């Protein structure tokens, strides 16, 4: 996972440079027979309507396919349906196959934890396998193109789509972006029929939308962009991703979809990307509302900027021919986009066999298999983050009676989380089922609705994922729960968000456990019985009260098809939790944006407890988060030595080996993610107080000590300066290691 750096103008990836004369000839000949309208047809991407993620829905799809006006369809699945649509395409003049896409985000029919949860595993191998299995299932169901990985860096948990990200950090995000591309695309040659084309999104900076409000404006300096936000997209490009999705937001005042600097100068010229760019859902048309022109103008701008395919809006289909006639767009510009779409279809093998992914037998035998469920269970357990565990209340002792309380404890629809559009919800394992599967004696009560307010409760129940609202009063439900708790030895309160409280268009201004659930939790704590809070969430929540008052907190995000079994595995200690937060949990919303890689400022707080006048801090809360980036407990304990370096000085040709000893000092075997951070102490530009550069996940038996080594060279000390050149200056650096971003020890290293 080393050396996740990117250099403007560096050697282009071999894959991107590879020329294929046979393919070039095929596409040239095909295009020489195509009319302008048919070429524009290839740029048109319609929705099959299975999952609607915008207000516009495609119409007359069949007619358009026959007329050669459709290049791709997404949100349509199943070999039978796809075969039928493909057969229609083969009735068009040039018999050009359709590219079928889908939002395959964290699994397909078998669903894995939400991406933020997968990121909490800090396990690139696991994340790669999750994408591989998703690709196997999706291709078995006719899909050739997945709208994933989503690699937007996000430091604002109000934004609901943080659930789809890998969190706040560019190095962790880059490692996972590359892993997912490898998982989806295999070696990128699509030889068999179980790999599909990935689509890195949303290019770019979508995760930085102001105030965490979805689709909102972004604005940032280039130096921050290059150092902190662009690396994961670049990592996906370097891993050979076949396509890129332009984001909804603007950059430097120009919407990404029409931003030539972004889509052509940076993406293609500097980074060497050779694949296809697609807009987001009606992203072209939406530029009318952004205020940069009418449909004809924005369509022309998008194409000329480098957006090849127009998703759903049909601005290309309805205006580009006119623009060519009027001399506003050149035929060569249409050709370039068309060539890239045809090239993707060629690479996927669709010209050779348009029905390559239509295989009923595969659909029947390779989707939602026992093996995939076993993996889903493993992945879920690895995504959980133990935030608190007072007096070792966890793992639960077998034989103790459990009161399982909460609005979603037996709600299958909410196990998978957001953006699981192909999920088989009916088979998801709930917490109640999972705990009962262990043979435990479980009493249960709902205790509360997600929200007391029916309007907010309805917002929490989109896409047919009901919250199972109960019409009893808050008090009645609470009293019942307390009575049920009275029968048990330990209370497991499963509270938090519903699946659709995060994800697209699900921003929140208060990122707490809703008040009525909070009241329930207080009543349960007041019983005096041990309380374990099992937290459903798609984002960091503010948990200050909870952290003070409950005995244990296990953050399970949205864990997927096997959620219930996985929760039982961890609660009973069959699996020792090892997840670490990929994102900071604030104490309150006023601290947002909050992230560990902050700048020191000229008036830093001393770090001692308390408010300091004329220093950079708040009157009413410390600067520190509730739970820092990289944080997560285990049932065992780990002790870290200070890091050591084999040399105090390195040159540009040398590397230092940094070694840290980690001892398992507790009573369980366990996995630990050892993290390495770097700080440039003095340079010509200011730098964050620490930045993650590497991490290693190691298994350590109880009582054992392992030595974990990292290689640090000039590339780790390099970053973009104000001139946007990537380099390292000579001087002193601090190398820090530890179990999370807040508890590090350091050693000095000089670059000479």
Residues that bind ligand NOJ (CB under 6 A): 53, 103, 147, 201, 280-281, 504
Helical axes 474-485 vs 515-526, angle rounded to 10°: 30
CA distance 214 to 119: 22
Q: Which C-beta is closer to ligand NOJ: that of 285 or that of 323?
A: 285
Q: How far is the CB of 500 from ligand NOJ (least distance, A)?
A: 14
Q: What is the H or E stretch that residue 660 is in?
A: strand 656-664
Q: Which C-beta is closer to ligand NOJ: that of 245 or that of 442?
A: 245
Q: Which C-beta is closer to ligand NOJ: that of 259 or that of 323?
A: 259
Q: What is the H or E stretch that residue 495 is in?
A: strand 490-496
Q: How far is the CB of 563 from ligand NOJ (least distance, A)?
A: 23
Q: What is the CA radius of gyration of the chain?
A: 26
Q: Which C-beta is closer to ligand NOJ: that of 159 or that of 640?
A: 159
- Distances in Å between the Cα of 30 and the Cα atoms of 68, 275, 335, 342, 516 are 13, 19, 12, 9, 63
Residue 639: CB partners within 8 Å, gap ≥ 6?
A: 662, 663, 665
The string over 688-714, giving b where at least 16 C-beta atoms fall within 10 Å of a residue's C-beta and e elsewhere, is: bbbbbbbbbbeebeeeeebebebebbe
Q: How far is the CB of 147 from ligand NOJ (least distance, A)?
A: 4
Alpha helices in 152-191 (DSSP H): 170-185
Q: What is the H or E stretch that residue 231 is in?
A: helix 231-238
Q: How far is the CB of 154 from ligand NOJ (least distance, A)?
A: 14
Q: What is the DSSP string of 695-714?
A: EEEEEE-TT-EEEEEEEE-H
Residue 553: CB partners within 8 Å, gap ≥ 6?
A: 386, 387, 388, 532, 533, 535, 543, 546, 547
Q: How far is the CB of 278 from ligand NOJ (least distance, A)?
A: 9
CA distance 699 to 124: 15
- Nearest Cα neighbor of 24 from 36, 32, 35 is 32
Alpha helices in 438-574 (DSSP H): 454-459, 474-485, 515-526, 544-549, 563-571
For the purposes of burial, counting CB atoms within 10 Å of the CB of 55, is it exposed (0-12), middle (13-18) or buried (19 or more)? exposed
Q: How far is the CB of 54 from ligand NOJ (least distance, A)?
A: 6
The string over 599-625, giving b where at least 16 C-beta atoms fall within 10 Å of a residue's C-beta and e elsewhere, is: eeeeeebeeeeeeeeeeebeeeeeebb
The tokens for 601 are 């400022």
For 12, left (φ over 0), alpha (ψ -120 to 50), or beta? Answer: beta
Q: How far is the CB of 106 from ligand NOJ (least distance, A)?
A: 13
Do 74 and 145 touch, CB atoms closer than 8 A?
A: yes
Q: How far is the CB of 163 from ligand NOJ (least distance, A)?
A: 12
Q: Which C-beta is closer to ligand NOJ: that of 279 or that of 372?
A: 279
Q: Which C-beta is closer to ligand NOJ: that of 164 or that of 546?
A: 164
Is it true that the peptide bond before 512 is cis, omega within 30 degrees of 0?
no
CA distance 89 to 344: 17
Q: How far is the CB of 265 from ligand NOJ (least distance, A)?
A: 24
Active site residue 152: no
Residue from 152, 280, 457, 680 carrying the catalytic annotation: 280
Maximum Cα–Cα distance across the chain? 79
Q: How far is the CB of 531 from ligand NOJ (least distance, A)?
A: 37
CA distance 603 to 510: 29
The tokens for 443 are 């009493």
Q: How far is the CB of 421 from ligand NOJ (least distance, A)?
A: 8
Q: Which C-beta is closer to ligand NOJ: that of 250 or that of 504?
A: 504
Q: Which C-beta is closer to ligand NOJ: that of 65 or that of 73?
A: 73
- Nearest Cα neighbor of 521 from 498, 553, 489 is 553
CA distance 751 to 718: 11
CA distance 560 to 555: 14
Q: Which C-beta is closer to ligand NOJ: that of 278 or that of 513?
A: 278
Q: Give the nearest residue (CB) to ligand NOJ.
A: 147
Alpha helices in 34-141 (DSSP H): 36-42, 61-66, 79-89, 115-120, 124-140
Q: Which C-beta is closer to ligand NOJ: that of 504 or that of 569?
A: 504
The tokens for 288 are 């009318």
Q: How far is the CB of 218 from ligand NOJ (least distance, A)?
A: 14
Q: What is the H or E stretch that residue 404 is in?
A: strand 402-405
CA distance 576 to 599: 35
Q: How far is the CB of 248 from ligand NOJ (least distance, A)?
A: 7
CA 686 to chain centre: 29
CA distance 386 to 554: 5
Q: Which C-beta is closer to ligand NOJ: that of 147 or that of 226?
A: 147
Q: Which C-beta is closer to ligand NOJ: that of 74 or that of 585?
A: 74
Q: Which C-beta is closer to ligand NOJ: that of 273 or that of 281?
A: 281
The tokens for 219 are 């604005």
Residues labelled as active-site residues? 280
């Amino acid at each position: 996972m080393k050396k996740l750096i990117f250099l403007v103008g560096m050697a282009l990836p071999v894959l991107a440079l590879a020329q294929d004369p046979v393919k070039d000839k095929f596409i040239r000949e095909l295009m020489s027979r195509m009319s302008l309208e048919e070429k524009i047809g290839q740029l048109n991407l319609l929705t099959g309507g299975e999952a609607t993620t915008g207000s516009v829905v495609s119409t007359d799809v069949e007619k358009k396919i026959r007329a050669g006006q459709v290049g791709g369809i997404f949100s349509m699945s199943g070999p039978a349906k796809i075969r039928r649509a493909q057969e229609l395409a083969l009735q068009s003049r040039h018999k050009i196959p359709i590219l079928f896409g889908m939002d395959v985000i964290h699994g397909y029919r078998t669903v894995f934890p939400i991406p933020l949860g997968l990121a909490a595993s800090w396990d690139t191998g696991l994340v790669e396998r999750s994408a591989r299995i998703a690709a196997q299932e999706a291709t078995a169901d006719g899909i050739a193109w997945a709208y994933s990985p989503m690699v937007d860096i996000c430091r604002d948990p109000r934004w609901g789509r943080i659930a789809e990200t890998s969190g706040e950090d560019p190095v962790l995000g880059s490692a996972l972006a590359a892993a997912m591309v490898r998982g989806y695309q295999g070696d990128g040659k699509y030889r068999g029929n179980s790999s599909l084309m990935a689509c890195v999104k949303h290019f770019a900076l979508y995760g930085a939308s102001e105030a965490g409000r979805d689709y909102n404006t972004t604005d940032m300096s280039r130096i921050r962009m290059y150092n902190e936000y662009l690396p994961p997209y670049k990592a996906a490009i370097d891993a050979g991703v076949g396509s890129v999705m332009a984001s909804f937001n603007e950059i430097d005042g120009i919407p990404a979809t029409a931003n030539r600097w972004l889509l052509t100068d940076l993406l293609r010229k500097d980074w060497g990307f050779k694949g296809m760019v697609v807009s987001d859902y009606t992203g072209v048309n939406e530029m009318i509302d952004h205020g940069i022109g009418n449909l004809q103008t924005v369509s022309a701008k998008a194409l000329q900027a480098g957006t090849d395919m127009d998703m759903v809006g049909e601005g290309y289909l309805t205006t580009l021919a006119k623009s060519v006639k009027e001399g506003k767009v050149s035929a060569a510009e249409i050709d370039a986009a068309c060539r890239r779409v045809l090239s993707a279809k060629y690479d996927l093998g669709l010209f050779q066999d348009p029905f390559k992914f239509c295989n009923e037998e595969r659909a029947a035998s390779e989707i939602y298999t026992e093996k995939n469920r076993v993996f889903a269970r493993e992945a879920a357990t690895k995504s959980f983050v133990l935030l608190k565990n007072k007096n070792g209340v966890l793992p639960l002792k077998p034989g103790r009676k459990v009161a399982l309380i909460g609005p979603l404890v037996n709600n299958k629809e909410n196990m998978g989380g957001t953006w699981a559009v192909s999920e088989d919800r009916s088979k998801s394992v709930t917490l109640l089922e999972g705990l009962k599967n262990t043979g435990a004696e479980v009493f249960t009560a709902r205790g509360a609705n997600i929200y007391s307010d029916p309007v907010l409760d309805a917002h929490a129940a989109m896409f047919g994922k009901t919250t199972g609202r109960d019409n009893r009063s808050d008090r009645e439900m609470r009293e019942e729960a307390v009575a049920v708790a009275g029968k048990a030895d330990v209370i497991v309160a499963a509270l938090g968000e519903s699946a659709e409280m995060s994800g697209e268009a699900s921003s929140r201004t208060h990122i707490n456990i809703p008040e009525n659930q909070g009241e329930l939790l207080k009543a349960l704590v007041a019983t005096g019985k041990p309380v374990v809070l099992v937290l459903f969430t798609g984002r960091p929540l503010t948990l200050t009260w909870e952290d003070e008052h409950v005995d244990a907190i296990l953050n399970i995000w949205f864990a997927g098809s096997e959620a219930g079994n996985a929760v039982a595995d961890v609660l009973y200690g069959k699996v020792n939790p090892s997840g670490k937060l990929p994102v900071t949990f604030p104490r309150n919303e006023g601290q947002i944006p909050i992230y560990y890689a902050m700048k020191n400022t000229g008036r830093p707080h001393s770090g001692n407890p308390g408010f300091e006048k004329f220093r950079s801090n708040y009157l009413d809360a410390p600067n520190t988060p509730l739970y820092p980036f990289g944080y997560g407990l285990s049932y065992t304990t780990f002790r870290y030595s200070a890091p050591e370096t084999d040399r105090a000085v390195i040159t540009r040709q040398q590397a230092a080996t940094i070694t840290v000893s980690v001892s398992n000092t507790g009573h369980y075997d366990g996995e630990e993610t050892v993290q390495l951070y770097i700080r440039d102490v003095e340079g010509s530009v200011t730098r964050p107080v620490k930045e993650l550069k590497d991490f290693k996940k190691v298994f350590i038996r109880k009582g054992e000590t392992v030595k974990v080594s990292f290689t640090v060279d000039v590339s780790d000390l390099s970053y973009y300066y104000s001139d946007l050149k990537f380099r390292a200056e000579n001087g002193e650096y601090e190398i820090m290691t530890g179990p999370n971003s807040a508890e590090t020890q350091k050693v000095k290293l000089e670059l000479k």
